[in-house]
Structure 1
């Protein structure tokens, strides 16, 4: 009996190419899914860092407001923009940039409250408890005026800067420890005191209209708190300040 020999037909060249392309596409899809998951996790981490920093900033502002209330000074806070607001009429006489007697007392109370509340939110040796993972990057003392045009050598911008400067200087004079409150440990690059100043003249009103009530609201000193935010790197260890 003669047995037949079965010969297998070699795979077509096109079929082999198709299988190779399919394997490559599956591999690329898998890599894409892994990268997508990686970036999603890091985006979540960054979002948590930002949300946590905003919550911490709101806590700082509320604690400062309560401390100042206990000291007999009423202030306004805006937790969304990170501002503690001091009315102009508490600090300065009309068209003057040197602090009034009431202003000296008020800014002294603000400085005292800052020394009480801020140490563990900065790289300060005065922190006696657990240091916050969310540190203050800067506190800008901002001067603002109403829109009335000033007559004389000094304009609204000059007045706002000089008032911010007077408040800035008084804060440090009342509590010299504030000059040691840094945004990160002194040994790290970019370490700097958190206090700074700026003047905006009439450019950033918080009340509209030309009535006296609106003008009074717009004449003010704002303390604007900026928090350290996640860096450009994706590593969570990079995002968290190292102390």
Structure 2
């Protein structure tokens, strides 16, 4: 019998649904009963993870505790930026966390790249810097004005825009990272691949949501060990 997966979502809702679609697609199942039981809290009311004055951590920890109470055995967060509060969330809820940032960083290393570019928010990039360094890798980021362009694009996607223009603009930002030396590009925000065609990028693109979903399947089916619980 597989472990029950709890998912913190809603940051944003479309990205959470994309993660759940990937989770289902990556599960080796021949019938309904072969799939992983998943308990999801899609809560768009979580305070903005990019607002330095907001306090999303306690809200996320409360959500995770409720998932534990509902029967979840292990936790995933379908948002890169929210991982800034990962220790609080795991410790408060008592649920071991399958870490998206660590999983995507390892996937970037496995491409053979020595430097990875990250398309993500500033808090997410800070986390990726630490995790990539632990893999012996360098980080390539956008200059400040281009990072602002990324954030403007991100909020357009969150507002529901999926135009070719938005996709081309995201591909352009990825191309800038590659031009600056990135040998792989991590889609370090779950909205990125709602518009970006990986084929438009001249380097491997790491889908953080997809590699997290794949690892969730492996952990829940007992093919990988459950992560250690934060003390």
TM-score computed with the length of structure 1 as normaliser: 0.25
TM-score computed with the length of structure 2 as normaliser: 0.26
Which of structures 1 and 2 has the bigger CA Rg? 1
